[in-house]
């Protein structure tokens, strides 16, 4: 019950706090705190607004594309393209975000429906992991944030593909039953057959109605994701202005600790993958390529909000296995990649 209450009231509280912060900044009201001077407050405001304003256009583009796909692209069209081979299926799942760049929050319910309709479960999980990274919108936002460091850009895309691909191969070999929480645990290689009356064919709506649904879905997702972006920018600004620089330098100077710190930071921030590159870029003067890549790859794949969504859709043992595999692979491969590109 306490966890349920926390999940119920944290989004409104987070929204109210972010709104109050924006109002204070908009009216340029001074905030008198005993340990924060005028210079620190100005630095905090500048950093906070820069992260939000740089990331906002990409987040808006992402939710519009997500809404268009939600309304106009049928699940059967995606399922009909799925290969039979585990190797090709893992490649297909890892690259599916190039065609269907959904937001990570919108992927889990879509993938759950696709698995119930017969798509191999490992392909759906690979798509959940790679889709938030290997897609054109995230490529554009990461390029904008790290145009001076192309190694970070291509390292992020390559690691996102490789980690998801490897997990797909493992799951295709060892996951023999449906990973979904609801329904019967039928073998995942037994694809149920459905009639020709698909939901997309039976629910033909006028074009105007579908565009209205698109706008409604986009606006709802934008405001839902916006509070996480603002909260992430808030924490980023607080850490860089409120935490002693020597403490961050001590973390950044330790190779292993800095990667673990940035992975944990990405997990709890739960930023949208279309905007997290700008937060990572604000730390580029402190951290090397390894921790930055760990932040940019682990956060979109596994964070606090999508962990809760995964537990609501998939069996706990499968979620735990995916989280552990992702953490180990991201940590080791980001370290290796950083040494190759530097």
> pLDDT per residue over 30-40, tens digit each?
544 445 567 77
Q: How far apart are CA 95 and CA 207, in angstroms?
A: 29
Ranking 110-119, 171-180, 289-298 by mean pLDDT, the lowest is 110-119
Question: Is residue 319 scored above 60 in pLDDT?
Answer: yes
Question: Is residue 334 scored above 90 in pLDDT?
Answer: yes
Ranking 129-143, 160-174, 297-311 by mean pLDDT, the lowest is 297-311
- What's the chain's average pLDDT? 78
Q: How far apart are CA 33 and CA 289, in angstroms?
A: 35
Question: Is residue 214 scored above 70 in pLDDT?
Answer: yes
Residue 237: predicted pLDDT: 77
Q: How far apart are CA 70 and CA 110, in angstroms?
A: 9
Which band of pLDDT confidence, cut at 50, 70 and 90, is reported for residue 170? very high
Residue 139: predicted pLDDT: 95
Burial state string for 284-316 with b = 16 or more CB within 10 A and e = fewer than 16: bebbbbbbbbbbbbbbbbbbebbbebbeebbbe
Which band of pLDDT confidence, cut at 50, 70 and 90, is reported for residue 277? very high
213: its two tokens: 């649904």
Q: Name the phi and psi angles at 314, rounded to 5.
A: -120, 160
Q: Give the CA distances from residue 314 to residues 186, 311, 318, 325, in Å, rounded to whole numbers and listed in that order.
A: 14, 5, 7, 16
251: its two tokens: 């973390």
> Which of 327 and 203 is assigned the larger pLDDT?
327
Residue 18: predicted pLDDT: 56
> Which of 161 and 213 is assigned the larger pLDDT?
161
- Residue 330: partners with Cβ closer than 8 Å, 6 or more residues away: 159, 163, 263, 294, 297, 298, 301
> Which of 218 and 257 is assigned the larger pLDDT?
257
Which band of pLDDT confidence, cut at 50, 70 and 90, is reported for residue 25? low
Q: What share of the chain is helix, strand, coil (3-state, %, to 5)?
A: 75, 0, 25
Which band of pLDDT confidence, cut at 50, 70 and 90, is reported for residue 101? confident
Residue 252: predicted pLDDT: 85
Residue 20: predicted pLDDT: 62
- Residue 126: partners with Cβ closer than 8 Å, 6 or more residues away: 89, 90, 93, 94, 164, 165, 167, 168, 171
Residue 192: predicted pLDDT: 39
Which band of pLDDT confidence, cut at 50, 70 and 90, is reported for residue 1? very low
The dihedral region occupied by 300, where left means phi > 0, alpha psi between -120 and 50, and beta the remainder, is alpha
Q: How far apart are CA 152 and CA 296, in angstroms?
A: 9
Which band of pLDDT confidence, cut at 50, 70 and 90, is reported for residue 196? very low
């Amino acid at each position: 019950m306490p966890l349920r209450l926390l999940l119920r009231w944290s989004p409104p509280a987070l929204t109210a706090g972010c709104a109050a912060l924006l109002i204070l900044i908009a009216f340029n009201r001074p905030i008198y705190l005993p340990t924060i001077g005028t210079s620190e407050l100005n630095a905090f405001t500048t950093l906070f607004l820069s992260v939000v304003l740089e990331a906002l256009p990409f987040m808006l583009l992402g939710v519009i594309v997500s809404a268009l796909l939600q309304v106009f692209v049928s699940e059967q069209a995606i399922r009909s393209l799925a290969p039979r081979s585990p190797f090709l299926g893992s490649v297909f799942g890892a690259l599916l975000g190039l065609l269907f760049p959904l937001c990570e929050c919108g992927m889990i319910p879509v993938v759950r429906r696709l698995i119930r309709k017969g798509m191999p479960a490992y392909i759906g999980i690979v798509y959940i992991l790679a889709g938030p990274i290997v897609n054109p919108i995230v490529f554009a936002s990461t390029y904008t944030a790290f145009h001076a460091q192309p190694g970070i850009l291509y390292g992020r895309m390559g690691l996102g593909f490789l980690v998801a691909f490897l997990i797909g191969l493992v799951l295709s070999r060892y996951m023999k039953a449906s990973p979904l929480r609801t329904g019967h645990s039928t073998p995942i290689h037994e694809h149920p057959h459905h009639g020709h009356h698909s939901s997309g064919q039976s629910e033909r709506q006028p074009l105007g109605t579908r565009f209205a649904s698109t706008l409604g879905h986009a606006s709802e997702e934008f405001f839902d994701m916006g509070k996480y972006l603002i909260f992430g920018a808030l924490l980023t600004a607080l850490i860089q202005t409120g935490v002693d620089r020597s403490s961050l330098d001590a973390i950044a100077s330790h190779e292993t600790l800095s990667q673990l710190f940035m992975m944990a930071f990405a997990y709890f921030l739960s930023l949208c993958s279309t905007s997290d590159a700008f937060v990572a870029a604000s730390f580029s003067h402190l951290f090397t390529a390894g921790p930055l890549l760990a932040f940019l790859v682990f956060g979109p794949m596994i964070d606090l909000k999508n962990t809760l969504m995964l537990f609501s859709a998939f069996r706990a043992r499968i979620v735990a296995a995916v989280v552990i595999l992702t953490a180990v692979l991201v940590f080791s491969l980001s370290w290796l990649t950083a040494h190759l590109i530097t």
